[in-house]
Amino acid sequence: MRVSRRDFLRASAALSGALALRAAGLSALQDAIAATGESTVPVIWLQGQGCTGCSVSFLNSVHYATADELLLQSLDVRFHPNVMAAAGDEAVAAADSARRAGGYVLVIEGAIPFGADGQYCHLWEGMTMVDAIRSFAPGAIAVLAVGTCATYAGIPGGRPNPTDALGVDEALERLGITAQTINIPGCPVHPDWLVGTVAKLLNGQAPQLDSYGRPLDYFPQKKIHDRCPLKGTEEANRLGLQSCLKKLGCRGPKTHADCDIRQWNSSGSGAYGVSWCIGAGSPCIGCVEPGFPDSMSPFYRDGEDFADGLPMTDQVQIAQARYYADGRRLHVEAESSGSEEAGLTLYGYGLMTFNGDSGLFEYIRDGAGDPGGFVTVLSSLGGSATAEVERVDEGAPPDDEPGDGETADEIRIVRAEYRHRTSQLSVDVVSSAGREAALTVLGYGPMAPVGRRHRYRQRGVANPGETVTVVSDRGGTAEAQVQHRR
């Protein structure tokens, strides 16, 4: 059912107090109602890598209007895979018809995976999510990235990001597409954030955005901690207490959102929500911030491991490091104060595996190159340790490294880029050993094989400076200049 822009603006004006619009915004909405005809702005809603949680959150909207009021009486939604009546070829035809007509608002939910030529995510037969961005974004009057997966890649883009998942801004840049984008993060997005933003767009207003492309109406400069009702109370030593949760890992000191005011699960029209994470006695996990979940992990830690609500450096100890010359077996065990929540990497070799029985991280590999006198273990939580290698010379070590006639891996860094806006480091490498090699970006972590390359892409990481170095477990290394971008 198609409903006019006029009807949507009328509903928006009636609910403007709930939308937290300024008085000038209400007046403008009323003026727009008087001036508008029956023209509509179509909406195309596409879903990539995600859990559909943002659609579910949107469908729970009752503060301003119920889901059926929004979808049947307010928005001209031409395509949404979960709620449209049409299915199959009829649904695809509706999306294609709206695309060819142009002038629509494009809503993207979920990340966009570029790995395996986009084959990790298909919307319908013959249309990958990458293809959809390429086809639908150029004709949109605005692109709304809804939810953290769509804005910054979110959980699909977490380490080691094997599908090469990207958020909308980065996907558009990679495809060379220029579009007006608005980022509305959240895991999931709050329905008010989305409805309020759409109301402004249909009223012809451009929401004021922060440096991450988020509407300042809902993602203010002040952090949650600055307004938290628990600020200044005694610090809690366990969950469920109405006390400050900083030492339990609360990310409120790093998070910009109005959750404390708006809250969740509205009880009815015009009413704010009834609770939120901190109100329920649980730490804020910073789900609206770039780099989530990795830059906000772990979500909970014992109070002694935190200072001012931020994780302290992981304490890493190497329990043993042995190299057996006959079989060229390298065996390293390490302990982390972050327990299994940490990600440990054996520098120059690869990711270590957590052994639940021993409580240690292990790296065991036959045919490994000789590590020399020392090995270093790096933690994703910021710590590192170096230990001397115990050699077990049951036979003479091979004369050439890595050994048995095997030549050192030849590595070529084809891309090294750091984006200051999202604190993201992206490194692409070609290895002569192909997917069999285990490559590591020195000081950051292991790379993931993607197609014919190895790739490291991570948000919320420290500035690498002028150069990055990549090492291979087959003995090769490479260094490249870093391209710095805003």
Q: How many Cβ atoms from other residues are within 10 Å of residue 235's Cβ? A: 16
Q: Within 13 A of 312's CA, how many CA atoms are on the CB side? A: 14
The residue annotated as part of the active site, out of 228, 256, 331, 454, is 228
The residue annotated as part of the active site, out of 121, 190, 250, 454, is 250
In DSSP notation, 268-330 reads: STT---SB-TGGGT-----TTSTTTTGGG--S---GGGEETTEEPPP-EEEEEEEEETTTTEE
Question: Between β-strands 448-450 and 453-458, what pairing exists: parallel, antiparallel or unpaired?
Answer: antiparallel
Is 301:248 a contact under the CB 8 Å cutoff? yes
- Burial group, residue 277, by CB count within 10 angstroms (0-12, 13-18, 19+): buried
Closest to 434 in 3D by CA, of 401, 468, 465, 411:
411
Is 147:187 a contact under the CB 8 Å cutoff? yes
Outline where 102-190 has alpha helix (H).
129-136, 148-152, 168-175
Question: Please, which residues have CB within 8 angstroms of residue 476's CB and are 6 or more apart in sequence?
Answer: 408, 409, 410, 411, 431, 432
Is 473:329 a contact under the CB 8 Å cutoff? no
The residue annotated as part of the active site, out of 80, 187, 256, 454, is 187
The residue annotated as part of the active site, out of 63, 80, 190, 225, is 225
Is 26:60 a contact under the CB 8 Å cutoff? no
Is 54 among the residues known to form the active site? Answer: yes
The residue annotated as part of the active site, out of 63, 80, 244, 331, is 244
The residue annotated as part of the active site, out of 63, 190, 287, 331, is 287
The residue annotated as part of the active site, out of 54, 121, 190, 256, is 54
Is 409:433 a contact under the CB 8 Å cutoff? yes
The H-or-E segment that residue 24 falls in is helix 23-35
The residue annotated as part of the active site, out of 121, 256, 277, 331, is 277
Question: Between β-strands 453-458 and 424-431, what pairing exists: parallel, antiparallel or unpaired?
Answer: antiparallel
The residue annotated as part of the active site, out of 63, 121, 284, 454, is 284
Task: Give the type of residue at 312.
Answer: M
The residue annotated as part of the active site, out of 80, 121, 259, 454, is 259
Is 228 among the residues known to form the active site? Answer: yes
Is 121 among the residues known to form the active site? Answer: no
d(CA 346, CA 157): 22
- Burial group, residue 1, by CB count within 10 angstroms (0-12, 13-18, 19+): exposed
Question: Please, which residues have CB within 8 angstroms of residue 294's CB and are 6 or more apart in sequence?
Answer: 158, 159, 380, 458, 459, 460
The residue annotated as part of the active site, out of 149, 256, 331, 454, is 149
Contacts 24+ apart (CB under 8 A), 94-101: 95/44, 95/136, 98/42, 98/44, 99/44, 99/135, 99/136, 99/139, 100/139, 101/42
Is 287 among the residues known to form the active site? Answer: yes
264: DSSP letter: B
Would you call 430 helix, strand, or coil by DSSP? strand
Calculate ∠ Cα 53-238-344, nearest 5°. Answer: 70
Known catalytic residues are 51, 54, 149, 187, 225, 228, 244, 250, 259, 277, 284, 287
